[in-house]
Chains A and B, each alone.
Chain A
Amino acid sequence: MISLEGLTKRYGEKVAVNNLTFEVRPGIVTGFLGPNGAGKSTTMRMILGLDHPTSGDVRIEGRHYAELRDPLKSIGALLDATANHGGRSAYHHLLCLAQSNGLPERRVHEVLDIVGLTAVAKKKAKGFSMGMGQRLGIAAALLGDPRILMFDEPVNGLDPEGIHWIRTLMQRLASEGRTVFVSSHLMSEMALTAEHLIVIGQGRLLSDLSMADFIRQNSRSYVRVRTPERERFLDVLRSAGLTAMETGDVLELDGVAAEQIGELAARHGLVLHELSPQQASLEEAFMRLTAESVEYHAHSGPAADEQAPWGAGWKKG
């Protein structure tokens, strides 16, 4: 169990993490989602006592991180796959961590085996690919067989096989009754692994819901229509009290069933070329939710429909 209480981190004028309050419960995978620069890593560093909060509090099983008697057995974390000395072998990297917590040396071999790095245990970490570095970081997190696991963007740099492996691993760890807290900027990744979802944007809590509730509340369903008799169709809609969103030659109608539109068109003898119920993806739902808080917008290309114009977030700041 990780509990955050009004956690805030300021760097001068800039608020990186703004009054976050939530709990991460055991037994499930909790996703921590936000666009780049939303404050996910800063929050995780504060949970681990690496950064000190400007105000607010964060506790691990009721204690501050620095008060933990057996840190690696309480919580294991993968923050940054390159957070090791490149000149040290994978074995020695894990050994020095194990020794610092009084863990037996055989545990080093066990975790090397779990992440599949036994063959390169004596090799220097600087020769590792990003995926191997990620596995070494995960091995370090698993070293103390901890009750809480925290992974910052664990699928970065992993190949498809590795991504499948880490998903299965996180779900297995959670099913054993551990607390699993995993950050990502990819909604699609979270949808596959997380059972509970915490979304932040510009350091603020945007949503704290079970994945089921998040989907229910955020996925927008609409009806997509194409017709050669566009003007007449719009008139008919207007007289029926419906409004359509026009995107190119396609019309999108919110909050109405496809059947209703079909019957309406038939009554007025309108020709339709397309009538299809649509469900916006979770990715779109996430983008809509965080649109106002995205810090770095790309300049090129037309912005997505739901996205606020470039720089809109600044005015809010």
Chain B
Amino acid sequence: MTTTQQIPDQAPRTPSYVSPIPIGRTHLGHALASEWTKIRSVRSTLWTLGVFLALVVLIGCMMAGLVGADTYLNTPYTMPAFFGLLLGQMCLVSLGVLVVSSEYGTGMIRTTFTASPQRHRVLAAKILVFFAVAFVTAAVAIAAVGLYAQLTVGARTNVNWVPTVFKGALYVSLLGVLALAVGSMMRHSAGAITTMLGVLLVPAIMPAFLLFNDGLVDIAQFMSDYNAISALSLIFEGDRSTGTGGPQIALLATLTVLACAGAFAVQANRDV
């Protein structure tokens, strides 16, 4: 290839292009709309939420019949949802991780941050949209189990089950947001999901080992009181002598806020 390049003359040109599309400042509302489109347009959302609903509702309805009718005298009708949630929480944790780690894994994050250089706004929108989706899905599933139990078992109860819908949904949604924050910090789906499995299971398993050491009994007791499984069982037990899960929810909320703060800080100056 030789030098036959045509060089246009250097005559004055239009200084700069002006687009007919009106210019407006971008804000959180735009980011929320964008994240809503993202979460509803991938198959993994349908799968994780679909499996979650199936686990909670099916296992819940099955258990509702197996539990004796007398149980409901001092237990909310939503109690059978507890069994499904034990497994179902993994679905919300996975979705929470995937919402952000899939962007890092595919390189989509570069496109996202190019379109929205205000990284904190992107993460905030992700958290809000995910939390809303997870909370609504979990609340619907738990309420469905409560209604089923009330209609089919037909026993009398002294417990108002409506607060357990909110508390249960809040707890598993917070777990999902915690997973999202961990996913954002770690950027790798498998690593983040494994970490979250540890967060869920280690505090439930460790007390068995720690109890052999007198010095660690306090820690063992704390772990067995505050692990995710105990928290969910307290929320749905309705036994007021052992609490109804308030401190457990508060601890998870604190952890989640801390993890989110970490995620915001880590992503601010990261090369992507």
Contacts and interface: CB of A to CB of B under 8 A. Distances in A.
B107 interface: yes
B16 A177 contact: yes
Interface stretch (B22-30, B86-94, B147-155, B177-185): B22-30
Nearest to A101: B26
A69 interface: yes
Nearest to B270: A52
A203 interface: no
Interface string A158-187: 000000000000000000111100000001
A262 B24 CA distance: 70
Interface string A90-118: 00100111011111100100000000000
A195 B37 contact: no
B13 A27 contact: yes
A88 B38 contact: yes
A96 B114 contact: no
B40 to A, nearest CB: 8
Nearest to B25: A69
A144 B22 CA distance: 10
B37 A96 contact: yes
A27 B9 CA distance: 12
B146 to A, nearest CB: 34
B106 A84 contact: yes
A71 B14 contact: no
B30 A212 contact: no
Given A85-B42, A89-B41, A212-B7, A103 B106 contact: no
A72 interface: yes
14 contacts: A49-B117, A69-B25, A83-B110, A84-B106, A86-B106, A88-B38, A88-B41, A95-B37, A101-B26, A102-B26, A107-B21, A147-B17, A178-B17, A179-B16
A140 interface: yes
Nearest to B106: A85
A281 B1 contact: yes
Contacts of B112: 97, 100
**Residue of B2, B3, B13 with most chain A CB atoms under a 10 A cut-off:** B3
A100 B34 contact: yes
B271 to A, nearest CB: 4
Interface stretch (A74-82, A226-234, A242-250, A291-299): A74-82
Given A95-B37, A101-B115, A145-B19, A212 B5 contact: yes
Contacts of A210: 7
B113 interface: yes
A191 B25 CA distance: 39
A69 B37 CA distance: 22
Contact of B114 (A50, A281, A282): A50
B102 A176 contact: no
Interface in B228-263: none
A144 B21 contact: yes
Given A85-B102, A87-B44, A72 B5 contact: no
